[in-house]
Amino acid sequence: MRILIAEDDLTSRTMLIAIVKKWGYEPVAVSDGEAAWEVLRKDDAPQLAIIDWNMPVLDGLDLCKRLRKIDTPDPPYIIFLTSRSEKDCIVEALESGANDYIIKPYDNEELWARVRVGQRMIEMQTATNNAKKALAHEATHDPLTGILNRRAILDSLQKEISRAMRQGTLLSIGLCDIDHFKLVNDRYGHQTGDEVLRGFVSTIQDSLREYDLIGRYGGEEFLIVAPGASGSEEVIYERLLTRVAGQGIATRSGTVSITVSIGVVELRGTTTLDELLTDADSALYRAKNEGRNRVSYA
């Protein structure tokens, strides 16, 4: 773990560098508050900082206040190390966002123990952040296919509709339904069915452009959100249709061939999300009625 040491006094700084190294940490040393700020504002900044109060350019207290204004999930753990021993100073530093306060001259053992406390807090914070990220991912992604789930793709669609209206750009959506998917499950079992869904998703992903979005809308229904120029949507959906029909999906039960029906609708004027989905649904229904394995435009 790296530790930032901000201390203007050369002797103190040298001693701190040596002792922190002895404890197995990697010191990053600076001699004023502004230099400390430059280090700590970076993305890969040390997570623990031992800072002096009286320093040139920017003092420890102002540095601390500035750091606490940054909205980040992993703020640095700040230990003040200063000869200011007055109660008022201790209170002011802690109120400004310092995590700990040690008065010089300090005891090595005590400083070590307090650095260890900081390390434990940082580890807890990292674990919490990782758990939050995992939860956020779980809440927005389909566990089987890894793409956006229904709620997340609809959220994205709403954002894309607003953006398209604001910027006057085009947007189309494609509601895709695997033809006779129930037969796949009946004939090969659900594990193979799952593999077909995953294989289908990777075929979609290969067919889409970088900025197109895809989500699992229902069991074997998928929603494509494609922002962009008029006419381009035809290319996307026809290409997808051809690819799905042309290449079988390798599964534990052998290669399974499927086809897909797609209902496509383009955003026009002030269409709402509900209207778009209803139109896409009707187009999909028509594609099914007209014999499946085709794209139908609303």
Catalytically active residues are: 220
CB of 54 to Mg ion, least distance (A): 4
| CB closer to Mg ion out of 39 and 61 | 61
Q: Interface with Mg ion includes 54 (CB under 5 A)? A: yes
Q: Interface with Mg ion includes 12 (CB under 5 A)? A: no
Please count the residues of this chain forming the interface with Mg ion, following the rule CB under 5 A: 3
Q: Which tokens go with 76? A: 């640095």
| CB closer to Mg ion out of 16 and 287 | 16
| CB closer to Mg ion out of 33 and 174 | 33
CB of 13 to Mg ion, least distance (A): 9
Site pattern 219..258 for Mg ion (x: CB under 5 A): ----------------------------------------
Q: Interface with Mg ion includes 83 (CB under 5 A)? A: no
The DSSP secondary-structure symbol of 177 reads E
| CB closer to Mg ion out of 54 and 140 | 54
SS3 annotation, the chain: CEEEEECCCHHHHHHHHHHHHHCCCEEEEECCHHHHHHHHCCCCCCCEEEECCCCCCCCHHHHHHHHHCCCCCCCCEEEEEECCCCHHHHHHHHHCCCCEEEECCCCHHHHHHHHHHHHHHHHHHHHHHHHHHHHHHHHHECCCCCCECHHHHHHHHHHHHHHHHHHCCCEEEEEEEECCHHHHHHHHCHHHHHHHHHHHHHHHHHHCCCCCEEEECCCCEEEEEEECCCCHHHHHHHHHHHHHHHCCEEECCEEECCCEEEEEEECCCCCCHHHHHHHHHHHHHHHHHCCCCCEEEC
| CB closer to Mg ion out of 54 and 259 | 54
Q: Which helix (H) or strand (E) covers residue 122, if one does? A: helix 108-140
**Stretch of 48-56, 110-118, 180-188, 225-233 contacting Mg ion, by CB under 5 A:** 48-56
**Stretch of 46-54, 105-113, 122-130, 253-261 contacting Mg ion, by CB under 5 A:** 46-54
CB of 116 to Mg ion, least distance (A): 24
| CB closer to Mg ion out of 7 and 212 | 7
CB of 35 to Mg ion, least distance (A): 13
**Stretch of 1-9, 66-74, 118-126, 158-166 contacting Mg ion, by CB under 5 A:** 1-9
Q: Give the integer Cα–Cα distance in Å for 59 and 6.
A: 10
Out of 52, 195, 233, 279, name the contact with Mg ion by CB under 5 A. 52
Contact in structure between 93 and 51 (CB atoms under 8 Å): no
Residues 260-289 that bind Mg ion (CB under 5 A): none
CB of 209 to Mg ion, least distance (A): 57
Q: Give the integer Cα–Cα distance in Å for 194 and 200.
A: 10
Nearest residue to Mg ion on Cβ basis: 54
Contact in structure between 266 and 231 (CB atoms under 8 Å): no
Out of 3, 4, 6, 8, name the contact with Mg ion by CB under 5 A. 8
CB of 32 to Mg ion, least distance (A): 9
Binding site for Mg ion (CB under 5 A): 8, 52, 54
